[in-house]
Chain A
């Protein structure tokens, strides 16, 4: 009879359209939106070719070092600038139309950059001008300290430039390559789906309890033990939940190209444990609160959305701010335990943090189940 109730619970869950929408379709749709919106966000933050203009007056043309430097920087694969050589009026109108980040105006007194707003593009423009000054100065410095005869000036000069250009800055980048923070969005999506699974658990438990629904009354007077009924219903909702979750995982991996890091079995472990946490949340809310089913649904959804908000779904900085300033909030937030678990698998090489999250989720789940079963142990109600 365990199997009888299990199969029928599966049937009932799969046939409720609203449930299937929220636990299966909605995460897929939201994930697709995330993918479309966030796809290029990090690419845009990389250093791009900067559009600038240079006022090509006589003063500019006379400064040979400027001309060659900018020419060099606007050629080749690693070019830094797209340069338009135009008149002052044209440059000014280009700037006001946001076609360029800024323009260079060379006068006899100074080299001036005109910009409209401050940003990293403008700063790099400025840096390049400064770099020209620096090179000039260091070459002069080398030449001045040269022990060779003054007659061989050109040779010394070329040597000095070579010396400077060949001097090597010994920098080694030791950061990991997995730095894509938009992944957090997809991790919160998985967390959301895990916790939405609570809706399934709640529905399953509602139909077993005499004080929750009229079918529950019928089930309660039947010859099947309450424990069997509850357990088989929960098993069914867990299965449905896991099917939905794995569909989402497969979809995010193969279609949305979400990167979960190299440890696929740990990803599955986390999903399974995360779903359990969601299920137990639904079980607890279903068993303890005697309110309308719609109100309970609202409870699960608001709890989940609040949790996802705190773990970065609506702005990744949120998770960081909470982690940094009020870590206790996110240590108690199951949505964050799941998100943080995926994050630590993706970003860190060690597993301490991952296991900490797994254990936290298990503790959360067992706490919820414990509370639920205390409430379920009440075999007779005061009223229905």
Chain B
């Protein structure tokens, strides 16, 4: 009990970094959930477009504007901030309709339409749409002289609707939220656990305190066992807090079979974090160095394994490197669960392999830890 009390006291002194990492997790979670809310029913993913119409909105000009409105998502923007909006992808495509467009077009001049584009897939698609319209309009302009008739014909040609069917039983959007949360959790968990455990162990390990513990009447091995248990208890509590947070943020999806996998997976990850933290605390004795190491280890594995940037966006050579990091296997499970529809041995095989890897890493760290600490004892 004494050891545990001392543990709690040291923990209490170092609570601010834990709170910091947790607050970051909540902030990022909440911020990203809001921007990431798409419905499950199929709506054509329309590009965001801004139309800068310098012509009168009448006749053929109005028809062009209407066509763009129907096929894309028109955004309202401050005219002075258009360039910023384009840079930050608030708008994918800006269309400048020139002055006298209507007259020039009707006279067969094929006026230039200026555009600004983010050149991503959305913008490319918008360009296809605009191109189609202009080609159709130009072609028909040579045939029909009357503006009203021309407009009617253009619209008739362009009016199409292909039937599209959504074939998925998985609630991808809410699972995507949970996946995002648990991926990000790998950062907060790793940073929090390593930071606290290293600090606490280095406090208990500082030369004089350690001497005092060794000469005390308590069995040194027993003392270390209690310390290990306290660390595990702390990590478990942290895990529990994060799970409760995930339930609040993601809702009932956590209680589905996919959600259970998230829980088991993150629990394994927590245990792995504890073993890694113990290993680091054995190697590094300097309190000042801990802060730097925590940041490098936690940020490094989070960036390289896809906790911040989705895995599918990472360069393939980075993903190869990431295989040697436990976070990769943790995140891989989360990503798999996102698309998992049936739960049988075959579909769960990758998940089981990933979890096996986490267990493997935990054992590896424990073995390394005992080898290194034995060596250090001899040197001491």
Contacts and interface: CB of A to CB of B under 8 A. Distances in A.
**Touch A–B, Cβ below 8 Å:** yes
Interface of A: 17-18, 21-22, 25-26, 29-30, 33-34, 36-42, 44-48, 92, 95-96, 98, 110-124, 126-127, 129-131, 133-134, 137-138, 141-142, 145, 163-164, 167-175, 179, 181, 314-320, 323-324, 343, 347-348
Contacts of A181: 87-89
Nearest to A29: B296
A316 B165 contact: no
B287 to A, nearest CB: 10
Nearest to A324: B81
B122 interface: yes
B129 A127 contact: yes
B138 interface: yes
Nearest to B116: A175
Interface in B115-167: 115-122, 124-125, 127-136, 138-140, 142-144, 153, 156-158, 160-167
A127 B128 contact: yes
B79 interface: no
Interface residues of B, number: 86
A208 B157 CA distance: 80
A319 B135 contact: no
A42 B121 CA distance: 10
A141 B120 contact: no
Interface stretch (B197-205, B267-275, B312-320): B312-320
B28 interface: yes
Nearest to A146: B143
Given A118-B42, A138-B139, A174-B116, 6 more contacts: A117-B168, A129-B162, A131-B132, A172-B112, A317-B88, A323-B84
Interface in B267-308: 288, 291-292, 295-296, 299-300, 303-304, 308
B121 A347 contact: no
Contact of A172 (B115, B163, B309): B115
A87 to B, nearest CB: 16
A199 B140 CA distance: 69
Contacts of A121: 121
Contact of A118 (B43, B110, B112, B299): B43
B139 A142 contact: yes
Contacts of B143: 141-142, 145
Nearest to B39: A118
B38 A118 contact: yes
Given A118-B43, A174-B116, A126 B164 contact: yes
B313 A126 contact: no
B172 interface: yes
Contact of B45 (A25, A110, A123, A324): A123
B86 interface: yes
Between A145, A169, A320, the greatest number of chain B beta carbons within 10 A of the residue's beta carbon is seen for A169
A163 B141 CA distance: 12
Contacts of A343: 87
A167 B105 CA distance: 13
Given A37-B303, A348-B83, A320 B117 contact: no
Given A169-B138, A181-B87, A112 B163 contact: yes
A28 B148 CA distance: 63
B114 interface: yes
A169 B134 contact: yes
A289 to B, nearest CB: 17
16 contacts: A18-B292, A26-B292, A37-B304, A44-B313, A48-B121, A112-B162, A117-B172, A123-B44, A126-B44, A167-B138, A169-B130, A171-B130, A174-B114, A175-B116, A320-B90, A324-B90
Contacts of B124: 46-47
B209 interface: no
Nearest to B296: A29
Nearest to B93: A175
A110 B162 CA distance: 8
Interface string B4-44: 00000000000000000000000010011001001000111
Contacts of B112: 170-172
The 7 A-B residue pairs with the shortest CB-CB distance, nearest first, are A169-B134, A175-B116, A320-B88, A45-B120, A33-B303, A47-B124, A130-B160
B339 interface: yes
Nearest to B94: A175
B87 A347 contact: yes
Interface in B243-275: none
Nearest to B111: A170
A126 B226 CA distance: 63
A138 B140 contact: yes
Nearest to A109: B163
A116 B288 contact: no
B160 A170 contact: no
A122 B164 contact: yes
Contacts of B115: 171-175
B86 A175 contact: yes
A116 B42 CA distance: 9
Between A111, A138, A181, A323, the greatest number of chain B beta carbons within 10 A of the residue's beta carbon is seen for A138
Contacts of A133: 160, 162
Contacts of A111: 162-163
A92 B341 CA distance: 13
B157 A137 contact: yes
A188 to B, nearest CB: 14
A112 B161 CA distance: 10
B96 to A, nearest CB: 8
A237 B133 CA distance: 62
B113 interface: yes
Interface string B83-108: 11111111000101000000000000
Contacts of B38: 118
A168 B109 CA distance: 11
Given A44-B312, A137-B156, A169 B339 contact: no
Nearest to A121: B121
A344 B292 CA distance: 33
Interface in B25-72: 28, 31-32, 35, 38, 42-47
Between A22, A37, A95, A114, the greatest number of chain B beta carbons within 10 A of the residue's beta carbon is seen for A37
Given A44-B313, A45-B121, A120-B122, A92 B167 contact: yes
A123 to B, nearest CB: 5
A334 B108 CA distance: 54
B221 to A, nearest CB: 34
Contacts of B118: 175, 179
Nearest to B71: A127
B137 to A, nearest CB: 9
